[in-house]
């Protein structure tokens, strides 16, 4: 909730939409590769150690498992179709993927991937229909059932209520299936928590503060996405430096909780999220994470915190109205964090809506999925072009279709600027993209930088643990350059790139 609301009501954070004022292919799971070559986003390992109580090796292994098994899950989800009933990770390091189905005939193909099969009576679409009925019954009853979600692990729709007996009676009278719907006691009371870098502060008017979600473009306009309750269409914003920044072009709340803000020419979108250490993590895409996956949140009040994805398709009844389709996590948050980034490894997940508790005692926080926002407004997420760990066939090049080429050699730890230790100029806004093809035995990284009038700013990053990298960035006209760095090893490279 916005600090403006907090001051007016004198509420303590319980579930606040975080505003503030003034994302095995073998029959048995394989141990992930935890060699020095694996480099997760900066600050993520440390946050997972702190918030999930893991060792450094466990945190590193968990991220590798989540990245690897996400591909397995996506393939099975497509093959099972209407029989698919959800999926989730189990184990301290997400070492096992569980996939639920309504048909025993699917067991062999699930087990063949190394996943565990669960046979259930209701498909994911069945659960969604049941939850829709529950929502229509309880949406206007805040104390009776403020939180409702689909729990794929139990194959039920769960209602969290302060009045279990009352909620149970109301649902029974509505005709809801008592076997498919479970009411659990809970004291959660939903209320709102209110260059462009995810998690950074921005201000609406003179007193209300929210957090940036992710940089986006709707050509030729740059901007960012955030929570809908942070401002209404036409409201103006200022940045963390209190200088003029932008205008809300669209905002939805309640029903959903999302917005997008267009920014003026002084603000450059970056594919990054603050990680609370003075550094950033790259945003490479927006692939939804599997339930049980680790997820980290960045906000302007509490900074960088991590946890896991608990449930999807969650409905929250705030005092201001009901929001549907949120994702439930066990990440903490506080007022002012609203709108801030949720990211899983390097994949954007959503923007912070509300939460319960705080970052001292812990809590529950909900986010609005980012892909819904992009689709609603026709926006393009600003991404780094970084990809999860992958292996190219020896001797093959991942780069093609880039008209300009430069080559060079680097020693271990060395860096160089290209083209030709200089820069290039673009005469119009557009897309800058590049591909780095290096020797197979090295780990070279690629950074795209833009001149902001006083210094070079990194606007796109690709730093996977392998030799090959790709970056892409849509920006304004100006001066750009590439920085090629050896994180490990010495060898040759070829940089191919396109300019607008």
Q: What does the pLDDT average to over 234-251?
A: 92
Structural tokens at position 449 = 């930088």
**Minimum mean pLDDT among 19-23, 409-413, 432-436, 470-474: which range?**
19-23
Q: Is the pLDDT of residue 169 over 50?
A: yes
Q: In what order do the strands lie in the sheet with 280-282?
A: 196-198, 269-274, 280-282
Catalytic residue among 51, 257, 337, 443: 257
Q: What is the pLDDT confidence band of residue 398, given thresholds at 50, 70 and 90?
A: low
Residue 391's pLDDT is: 39
pLDDT in tens, 269-310: 899 998 877 778 899 889 899 999 999 999 999 999 999 999
pLDDT at 24 over 80: no
Confidence of residue 43 (pLDDT cuts 50, 70, 90): confident
Q: Which two structure tokens, joined as six digits, stand for 459?
A: 């606007």
pLDDT of residue 406: 92
**338 belongs to the catalytic site:** yes
Residue 429: its pLDDT value, please? 74
What average pLDDT does this structure show over 389-407?
62
Q: What percent of the chain has pLDDT over 70?
A: 86
For residue 194, give the DSSP letter: -
| Exposed/middle/buried for residue 18 (C-beta within 10 Å: 0-12, 13-18, 19+) | buried
Residue 19 predicted with pLDDT over 70: no
The answer to whether residue 125 is catalytic is no
Contacts of 274-279 spanning 24+ positions with Cβ under 8 A: 274/197, 274/198, 274/199, 274/200, 274/298, 274/303, 274/304, 274/341, 275/41, 275/42, 275/43, 275/44, 275/47, 275/304, 276/43, 276/47, 276/303, 276/304, 277/42, 277/43, 277/46, 277/304, 279/42, 279/43
Give the pLDDT mean for 387-396.
42
The stretch 213-226 carries a mean pLDDT of 92
Q: What is the mean pLDDT of residues 411-421?
A: 89
In this structure, whether the domain defined by 404-498 belongs to CATH 2.30.40.10 is answered with no
User: What's the whole-number mean pLDDT along residues 231-242?
Assistant: 92
DSSP string, 2-71: -HHHHHHH-PPPSBB---B-----SSSPPPPP-STT--PSTTHHHHHHHHHT--HHHHHHHHHHHHHHHH
The more confidently predicted of residues 399 and 458 is: 458
Edge-first strand listing for the sheet containing 430-438: 404-410, 491-498, 430-438, 469-475
The pLDDT value recorded for residue 36 is 41
Q: Which of 338, 341, 433, 462 is catalytic?
A: 338
Residue 87 falls in the annotated catalytic set: no
Q: Which of 20, 226, 229, 298 is catalytic?
A: 229
pLDDT band at 143 (very low <50, low <70, confident <90, very high): low
| β-bridge mates for residue 354, sequence order | 192, 366
Separation between Cα atoms, residue 162 and residue 167, nearest integer Å: 9
State the DSSP string of 227-265.
-GGG--TT-EEEETTSSEEEEEEEEE-SBS-EEEEEE-T
The lowest-confidence range among 3-7, 409-413, 460-464 is 3-7
Residue 455 has pLDDT above 70, yes or no: yes
Q: Is the pLDDT of residue 222 over 90?
A: yes
pLDDT computed for residue 352 by the predictor: 95
- What would the mean pLDDT of 205-232 be, rounded to a whole number? 91
Q: How many beta carbons lie within 10 A of that of residue 282, not counting itself?
A: 25
| Strand-pair partners of 16 | 355
Q: Comparing 196 with 430, which gets the higher pLDDT?
A: 430
Cβ contacts of 455 within 8 Å, gap of 6 or more: none
Q: Round the CA-based radius of gyration of the chain to a whole number and report it.
A: 23
Mean per-residue pLDDT for 72-100?
93
pLDDT at 21 over 60: no
pLDDT at 7: 27
Q: What's the confidence (pLDDT) of residue 449?
A: 87
pLDDT digit string (tens) for 328-373? 999 999 988 999 999 999 999 999 999 898 999 889 999 999 989 9
What is the pLDDT, as a whole number, of residue 460?
78
pLDDT score of 397 more than 60: no
Residue 152 has pLDDT above 80, yes or no: yes
What per-residue confidence (pLDDT) applies to 328? 96
Confidence band, pLDDT 50/70/90 cuts, at residue 9:
very low
For residue 31, what pLDDT is reported? 37
pLDDT for the residue numbered 385: 63
What confidence score (pLDDT) does residue 6 get? Answer: 32
Residue 386: is its pLDDT beyond 70? Answer: no
Lowest pLDDT segment from 25-39, 153-167, 239-253, 333-347: 25-39
**Predicted structure pTM score:** 0.67
State yes or no: pLDDT of 210 exceeds 90.
yes
Residue 175 half-sphere exposure toward CB, CA atoms < 13 A: 3
């Amino acid at each position: 909730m916005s600090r403006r609301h907090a001051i007016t009501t004198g509420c303590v954070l319980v579930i606040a939409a975080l505003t503030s004022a003034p994302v095995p292919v073998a029959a048995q799971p394989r141990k992930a590769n935890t060699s020095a070559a694996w480099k997760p986003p900066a600050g993520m390992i440390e946050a997972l150690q702190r918030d999930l109580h893991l060792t450094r090796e466990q945190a590193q292994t968990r991220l590798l498992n989540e990245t690897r098994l996400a591909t397995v899950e996506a393939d099975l989800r497509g093959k099972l179709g209407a029989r698919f009933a959800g999926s989730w990770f189990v184990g301290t390091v997400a070492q096992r993927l569980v996939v639920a189905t309504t048909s025993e005939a699917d067991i062999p193909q699930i087990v063949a991937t190394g996943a565990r099969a669960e046979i259930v009576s209701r498909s994911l679409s069945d659960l969604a229909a049941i939850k829709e009925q529950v929502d229509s019954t309880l949406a206007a009853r805040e104390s009776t059932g403020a939180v409702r979600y689909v729990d794929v692990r139990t194959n039920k729709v769960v209602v969290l209520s302060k009045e279990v007996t009352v909620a149970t009676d109301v649902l029974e009278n509505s005709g809801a299936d008592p076997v498919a719907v479970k009411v659990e006691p809970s004291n959660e009371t939903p209320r709102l928590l209110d260059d462009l870098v995810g998690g950074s502060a921005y201000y609406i008017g003179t007193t209300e503060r929210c957090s940036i979600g992710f940089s986006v473009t709707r050509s030729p306009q740059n901007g960012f996405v955030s929570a809908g309750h942070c401002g209404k269409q036409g409201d103006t914003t200022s940045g963390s430096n209190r200088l003029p920044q932008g205008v809300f072009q669209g905002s939805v709340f309640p029903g959903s909780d999302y917005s997008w803000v267009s920014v003026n020419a002084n603000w450059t979108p970056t594919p990054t999220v603050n990680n609370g250490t003075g550094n950033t993590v790259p945003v490479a895409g927006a692939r939804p994470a599997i339930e049980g996956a680790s997820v980290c949140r960045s906000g302007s009040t509490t900074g960088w915190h991590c946890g896991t994805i608990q449930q999807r398709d969650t409905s929250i009844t705030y005092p201001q109205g009901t929001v549907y389709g949120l994702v439930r996590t066990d990440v903490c948050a506080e007022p002012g964090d609203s709108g801030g980034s949720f990211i899983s490894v390097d994949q954007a997940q959503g923007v912070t809506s509300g939460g319960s508790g705080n970052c001292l005692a812990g809590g529950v926080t909900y986010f609005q999925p980012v892909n819904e926002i992009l689709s609603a407004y026709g926006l393009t997420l600003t991404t780094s072009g970084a990809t999860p760990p992958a292996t190219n066939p020896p001797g093959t090049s991942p780069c093609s279709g880039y008209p300009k080429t430069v080559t060079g050699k680097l020693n271990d730890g060395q860096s160089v600027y290209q083209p030709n230790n200089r820069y290039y100029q673009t005469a119009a806004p557009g897309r800058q993209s590049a591909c780095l093809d290096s020797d197979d035995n090295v780990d070279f990284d690629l950074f795209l930088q833009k001149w902001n009038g006083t210094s070079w700013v990194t606007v796109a990053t690709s730093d996977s643990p392998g030799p090959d990298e790709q970056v892409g960035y849509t920006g304004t006209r100006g001066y750009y350059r590439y920085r090629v760095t050896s994180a490990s090893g010495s060898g040759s490279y070829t940089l191919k790139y396109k300019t607008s």
